[in-house]
Amino acid sequence: MVSQDRISRLAQQIGERLQGASQAPEDIQKGVQQVVRGAFDRLELVSREDFDILMDVLQRTRSRVEALEKQVAALESLVEERAAPAGETAAAPAVAEEAAEVPVPTVREQSKQDEASSGSADKPSA
């Protein structure tokens, strides 16, 4: 969220510019501060730190999805190579055995690998 100090400074600057108004500058400043604070609250802003953390999570998730898509494509091509039009069911056990040999890291293992490769082991994960 936006800090109270920033809101106060913004309200003060607006108040300074409106000093020639009929009301006292303090009243204008308080009114503007309330309006600005209400506007910022309705915007539901996030901090830069939270945004950066979420972007990091999104990037790791995209990488994971891409890796899984490649594995699925490799397994599909393996199935297509092994499956003959007449003997499709006979080739299925052999394909299943080869598919079982393809190493698929668990989510926890992948997260550890991602943290190690990105150097973000000290950042909190979301």
pLDDT in tens, 37-46: 888 788 888 8
Q: Where are the domains of the chain?
A: 4-43, 48-118
- How far is residue 1's CA from residue 99's CA, in Å, rounded to a whole number? 48
Q: State the maximum Cα–Cα separation within the chain, in Å, rounded to a whole number.
A: 92
Q: Report in angstroms the alpha-carbon separations of 80 from 73, 84, 85.
A: 10, 8, 10
Calculate mean pLDDT across residues 11-26.
67
Tokens coding 21: 């108004």
Q: What is the pTM of this model?
A: 0.42
Sign of CA dihedral 15, 19, 24, 28: negative
Calculate mean pLDDT across residues 41-64.
92
Give the start-end residues of each E strand in 1-126: none
Which of helix, strand or coil describes residue 53?
Answer: helix
Q: What is the pLDDT of residue 126?
A: 46
